Structure 1
Amino acid sequence: MAFGFATAAVFVGWYGPLQVLLARQAEGVDGAGKEAVLALVAAAGALGSMVANPVWGALSDRSGRRLPWVLGGAVAGAGGLVLLGTATSTAGMVAGWVGVQVALNAPFAALSAVIPDQVPENRRGTVGGWFGLAQTVGIMAGTGLALVGGTVLSGYLACAAAVALGVVPFTILAKEKVPSRQSTKVKKTPDFRWAWVTRFLINLGNAIALLYLLYYLKDEVRVADPDAGVFLLTAIYAVALLSTVVAGGALSDRLGRRRVFVCAAGLVMAVAAVLLAVWSTWTGAITAAVVLGVGFGAYTSVDFALVTEVLPTAADRGKDLGVINVANTLPQVLAPVVAAPLVALGGYPVLYMVAAVVGVAGSVLVFRIKTVR
């Protein structure tokens, strides 16, 4: 339970800004160029995250501790959110969001490594499901907290409080069980690289699709209250995810198979992107949220379990999971580069069709992994 609270807290700190606050802030900084401002801020933050995650993971490996990195990173991240809430320029937003991303990757890197530290391989699908569930709770809570008080600053303050308080129970109650640095067992296979490529492509497809969700609802679907629309879609997505995130991981454990679940889940997520491309209505957006939640639920739990089974060495789990997590953050750097010209040249239908194609490519390539069934 405490582990779930800590995980959710980190995702509150990320997704309150990503789902609502950064977009609203960008619009206040430059209403006419809001897409470009948001793209720059999101890309800079993702770049900071991409560098920070493996570094924090390696430091937690070498220190033989996970808990100090969880607490210290969360406190620093909460402070960064408060400062970000006061930014009134593009430069201020970039600096603040990079700081938040760098700080919050410390607890995320440590929390990710706790599962392979303490959970046997044949139960990691189930535990990965609970890990994914906690992330979803954090995304939903962050979106809701971002709307507290009605102002950008009040939203940031609410998210900061949740981040700082949410990790406290875990750091008090959890026990350390970090592998010895003397571990010599090393897996020398290309599967680690293929796991990275698969995750990168599926996450790139999602990042392309979700970056401009607020603007899609406002400008394409023409929802009267796009902020509330984002929150409602997030809630619908979360409920749909609940139907598969734990069940998918548990079924994967029972059958002893990972790849087919990852492939199927990725294809379902690609269908959600196609729906957004061809059905630009509020009903279409709701349907896509349901489909995306069903697919991403199974993907989150099973892909995490798969990745933990191809890590090169137990002694470097934190660092290696950090490298894998680059496949989550690098798409956030590249998505603005890809998405902005796609929207400018072909509009949202082209944007979402490209997202679907990229996701399908990642889904199929999972079968290049040979040492996991």
Structure 2
Amino acid sequence: MAEGIVEPASARRQDTRFLILYALASAGGAIAYVPLLTILLPVRVEAMAGEESVRWLAYCAFFGAVSASLGNILFGWLSDITGNRRGWIVGGLVLSSALLLALTRIDSLPGLIWMLVAWQLCLNMMLGPLSAWAGDVVPDRQKGTLGGLLAFAPALGALSGTLVTIPGLAGADTRLTLVVVIVVALVLPVLFVGRPVTFPELMRPSEPDFSVDVRESRRARALVVRMWLARLLVQISEAALFAYLYLWFRTIAPGITDNGTAKVFGATLLVAVPLALLIGRWADRTDRPIMPLSLSAGICALALLLMAGANGLKAAMAGYAMFGLAASVFLALHTAQTLRVLPRPLRRGRDLGLFNLTNTVPSLIMPGLTLAMVPVFGFSGLFVLLCVLAAIAALLLLGAARPR
């Protein structure tokens, strides 16, 4: 990073220890939902609904996404008002863990949906304030590094899915208990021993002089809109595979197990971690935060096209690995760079909740797309449509992918 361009105060950096603890807590947040929504819930729904599993899984995704959207905005906003991120994180951790354990007692599909709605609401009591906390304490010059570290979250989430589905390790109910133990162990350290360096400038709102720099102000607002739309489009693709990867693999190779699917999912995300770290640090050094987002969205589009034409398990896994790698880099770096472009720190939690709609709205759109496309065109037709959406995302960010 060049010297003399910024004020001496902004040469300070956040403590590496805190960044690592924060990344682990973020991973704990991912572990709270990744094994359940990608493996454990589809398996449970398939056992309860049989041939109607796709339809009931779509209902779970839809109502869960509505609850998650409202919860993330509400509790992010409340953490803004109270100025107490840690308190809300602790409350969400306790309540979501209790509800996850209670999920094992549900024996009807409507009851399962209602429990998921309550669990998503409480989970986002933890996730919303946790996301906003990073914006409070991590300066822009470390946003790329933060994004790379955040790639650990989905990777460890997938790894936990592999762990809890090891044959013979735990029964269906005990798997959720293991998930809760892991989540608590990862989230608590940053709350009780994390000591972040304070950056008062990160809590001051940016107030552009519109009379002097109207063009730059409009460009900044346009970038926020482009980033929101691009993430929404990529997340629609990611959400479809998040929910239906197991069922898609089963249409190609009926003998594949839930643990086999979890291994593919986990291996892909683990490989993404060092790549995201390298790219994130490159973005920090070169001050080109948007270019990696555009390139990775383009690779997602190409991977989805390859998946649409896959006619065997190896080709399907290779296509998914390519997609999963690119999508993981995109989502991790995008999460960190979003903190750079939001203009109102005192409403950071609420605004991140609105940005989080790009994570949850796809789960509202995706079930309709899946139910409309898969019965008529199969998964191949769905993947072609998702390819087009990812390509649009890449083009949206391409114009912004230049040095600041």
In the superposition, the TM-score normalised over structure 2's length comes to 0.86
1:147: how far off?
5.1
Unaligned runs of 5+ in 1: none
- In 2: Cα distance, 1:44 partner to 1:256 partner: 40
The yes-or-no answer on 1:43 pairing with 2:58 is: no
CA distance in 2, matches of 1:239, 1:105: 25
TM-superposed deviation, 1:179: 6.3
Q: Tell me, what secondary structure is at the counterpart of 2:51? A: coil
- Alignment of 1:346 with 2:367, yes or no, is no
Q: Distance in 2 between matches of 1:162 and 1:23?
A: 21
Q: CA deviation at 1:106?
A: 2.0
Q: Which position in structure 2 is the counterpart of 1:168?
A: 188
Structure 2 vs 1, CA of residues 147 and 13 (structure 1 numbering), >3 Å: closer, same or farther? farther
Aligned match of 2:271: 240
Residues 152, 310 of structure 1: alpha-carbon distance in 2 compared, 3 angstrom cutoff: same
What is the CA-CA distance between 1:182 and the residue it aligns to?
A: 8.6
The TM-score with structure 1 as length reference comes to 0.92
Residue 126 of structure 2 is matched in structure 1 by: 107
CA–CA distance in structure 2, aligned partners of residues 315 and 61 of structure 1: 6
The alpha-carbon deviation at position 222 of structure 1 amounts to 1.5
Instruction: Output the CA distance in 1 between the equivalents of 2:339 and 2:112.
Output: 35
Q: Percent identity?
A: 23
State the Cα distance separating 1:318 from its structure 2 match. Answer: 1.3
Q: What does 1:89-168 align with in structure 2 at a 5 Å threshold?
A: 89-146=108-165, 149=169, 151-168=171-188
Give the letter aligned to residue 204 of structure 1: I
Matched residue, 2:12: none
Matched, 1:202 2:257: no
CA distance in 2, matches of 1:309, 1:315: 14
**TM-fit CA distance, 1:186:** 4.2
- Structure with higher Rg: it is 2
Deviates more, 1:147-156 or 1:77-86: 147-156
8 Å Cα contact 1:126/1:301 also seen in 2 = no
Q: Is the 8 A contact 2:136 2:203 kept in 1?
A: no
Partner of 2:26 in structure 1?
A: 7
Residue 61 of structure 1 corresponds to which residue in structure 2?
80
1:109 Cα deviation after fit: 1.4
1:246 CA displacement = 0.7
Choose from 185, 195, 212 the match for 2:206. Answer: 185
What SS does the aligned partner of 2:253 have? Answer: coil
What's 1:217 paired with? Answer: 249
**Is 2:311 the partner of 1:280?**
yes
What amino acid is the match of 2:227?
A
1 CA distance for matches of 2:113 and 2:402?
41
Give the partner amino acid of 1:136: A
* Aligned mates of 2:126, 2:238 — CA distance in 1: 23
Return the alpha-carbon distance in structure 1 between the equivalents of residues 63 and 48 of structure 2. 17
Distance 1:267 1:371, change over 3 A: closer
Cα distance, 1:288 vs. partner?
2.0
1:93 counterpart SS class = helix
Q: Write the distance in 2 (CA, Å) between the matches of 1:316 and 1:174.
A: 23
Q: Say yes or no: does 1:258 pair with 2:289.
A: yes
2:14 matched residue in structure 1: none
SS at 1:312 equivalent: coil
Q: 1:291: Cα distance to partner?
A: 1.0
Q: What's the CA shift for 1:185?
A: 3.1
Work out whether 1:318 is the aligned partner of 2:349.
yes
Indicate yes or no: 2:298 matched with 1:298.
no
Secondary structure of 1:33's partner?
A: helix
Which amino acid is the alignment partner of residue 168 of structure 1? Answer: L
Q: Check 1:150–1:37 CA distance in 2 against 1; reply closer, same or farther (3 A cut).
A: farther
**Matched residues, number:** 372
**Aligned counterparts of 2:399 and 2:297: Cα–Cα separation in 1:** 15
Contact 1:85 1:153 (8 Å CA) reproduced: yes
> 1:57·1:321 contact (CA, 8 Å) conserved in 2?
yes
Q: Which residue of 2 aligns with 1:337?
A: 368
Separation in structure 2 between the aligned mates of residue 371 and residue 317 of structure 1, nearest angstrom: 26
Question: Aligned-residue CA RMSD in angstroms?
Answer: 2.3
